[in-house]
Chain A
Amino acid sequence: MFIFVVSFLMYLLLVWSGGGIPLIEVLIALILASVTMAAFRSWHKGRKISMRGLDPKRWFGFIYYLFGPFAVGLAKANIDVAVRVITGNIRPGIIKVDPGLTSDLAKTMLADSITLTPGTLTVDVDEEGAFYIHWIYVEDENPSEEQVYGSFGHWARRLAE
């Protein structure tokens, strides 16, 4: 249901060009959204139709996350990398962290957040859900979650599990 609503709204958003939206466009949006949902369903057999993705609390939480902690992390990351590009002060290595996430959406969200924030880049995620992270300046060879990505693990658990 989440996929259906998102593709429907996205189509209408892109087709809007000032003024109103003609009825035919709404019909096309409905058809395209149905096709997208059917295609997704044929790849992921056994998914049930659920309304969990449409919970407004999660949506507002996600928007807050995007403009709050994530934006701050992104800005800090870029200043950090900018300094390292200029000075060339690096100490790279690949470390292992186990955040204990189970759902695919939460893993994707955390991996993307890690990639865009201070000095870290997700290299691999194994079957047990452990993250292998390339760290540009290794402070500790067996770090805790907090040291590597701060509060992002908490946010991913809260918004996407």
Chain B
Amino acid sequence: MTIQIFLFAAAIVALLAIAALGRLVAGPTIPDRAVALDTMNTYVVGLMMLLAAAYDSVVMVDVAIVYAALSFVGTMFIARYIEGEV
């Protein structure tokens, strides 16, 4: 029964990530798009945790840790690019 909650929450978080995609496409400036991408990355990390709990696999949590670290590197690179230093 608890597993159904996790699957439900995972579906909602996936929908929210798609909602953030709208700002990624529409955003008038590049920083707006970067914010939307950062938001989506956070949602994906949360989604991975929820799915790991639902399917009972620790490996997915490890993937979430690596994803969080790599998405940070990506955000830093985009920020550097906006500043015009790359």
Contact = CB atoms under 8 A, between A and B. Distances in A.
Direct contact of A and B (CB under 8 A): yes
Contacts of B65: 14
Interface residues of B, number: 3
Interface residues of A, number: 2
Interface string A11-30: 00010010000000000000
Contacts of B62: 14
Chain B interface main SS type: helix
Interface in A1-52: 14, 17
B35 to A, nearest CB: 11
Contacts of A14: 62, 65
Interface string B38-73: 000000000000000000001000100100000000
Contacts of B58: 17
B63 to A, nearest CB: 13
Nearest to B62: A14
Interface of B: 58, 62, 65
For the complex of A and B, 3 pairs with smallest distance between CB atoms: A14-B62, A17-B58, A14-B65
